[in-house]
Amino acid sequence: MKIALKLIIGCVLCIISIFVFYLVGVIIYSLITAFHPDEEEVLIANKNSDKGINALDTLTALSWNIGYAGLGKEMDFFYEEGKKVKPTAEEHNKYLTGIGDFIQKQSNIDFGFFQEVDFKSNRSYKTNEYDYLQKRLADHSSVFALNYKAGFVPVPLYNPMGKVNSGMAFFSKYRLAESKRLSTPGKHKWPKQMYLLKRCFIVNRINLENEKELVLFNIHNSAFGDEKDFRKAELEMLKKLVLEEYEKGNYVLVGGDWNQNPPGMEVTVIGKYISKEVWPVSPDFMPAGWTWAFDNSLPTNRDVNKPFDFTRTTTTILDYFLSSPNVEVIEIQTFDLEFKDSDHQPVMLTFKLK
């Protein structure tokens, strides 16, 4: 009996020791590989067009959070009360192909605002999704900014998410005079900060014939329930930046995944989907004349607590554009892909510079 008890105690101590060594090892590795982005970073385009914008041009911009080709209709996600960590390899390939096929059909767009673009990440099978997008928008200049880099995400314990490299990509048919990554406010407490996103804006400048600039912001703002203060600080920073640009006489367009509803969204008219309100932006947040461009007939985001189901899954609008008073919005359209390949749907803006 004493021998059996000693064996049990020994096994328990051995298991505890292994777990402690694992935990210490994870923390040390996380500290070594921690992502500490600069407040401001110049981004270099993969190539740069010589094409300029004609004052009479009608322009198009597509925004899509592609969900790292890992959050298609079959998926739920453990961060959002689901169970799964990543799709199967077959599902990931199917989602990526669907995303690529859609973007290929829209390859005549002038600008592309993409979020959650992975490379060398366990959750997306080490696929370089930025390279994948570049091949489908081969006529465009592009820049990329990291907003999520972790050497090893140790949760969930039963199936750790592992290595993550992800960010935002911006594509342009026109010559980029400058592109920058600007870090946004908000920092989680340690050790959580080592395993979550470091949010940012990508700010792109295109010189115009009238000696002004078209300034385009690609954004992916904070998402989780404990990030209310982050969302507020991000919006205040964005407001300050865009108003400064407009006061200079520049043209401003902001697109991306806001993770907040646009002012004026009506949940009762979002088509065939079950809809809900999520952290709406105040109607008086921007001065008069600024345009919130969104398609109220369709949602752009769905909950990922369960695989997608029309009868159970709640949806909302998180992806849209904001434009300055000197930009004329002609049309805004959400493409109804029924969340087949991503938990977000693509949104297309057609506009002109006044």
* Full DSSP string of 200-240: EEEEEEEE-TTS-EEEEEEEE---SGGGHHHHHHHHHHHHH
The token pair that represents 8 in the structure block: 């049990």
pLDDT tens track for 119-145: 999 999 999 999 999 999 999 999 999
The token pair that represents 323 in the structure block: 């434009």
pLDDT tens track for 81-102: 899 999 999 999 999 999 999 9
CB 302 within 8 A of CB 334: no
Q: What pLDDT is attached to residue 5?
A: 64
pLDDT tens track for 24-77: 666 787 788 888 999 999 999 998 888 899 878 999 999 999 999 999 999 999
Task: For residue 290, give the nearest of 235, 350, 242, 219 by alpha carbon.
Answer: 242
pLDDT tens track for 216-251: 999 999 987 778 899 999 999 999 999 999 999 999
Q: In terms of pLDDT, which residue wins out, 354 or 192?
A: 354
Instruction: Read off the pTM.
Output: 0.95
Sign of torsion over alpha carbons 67, 332, 330, 237: negative
Q: Is 141 helix (H, G, I), strand (E, B) or coil?
A: strand
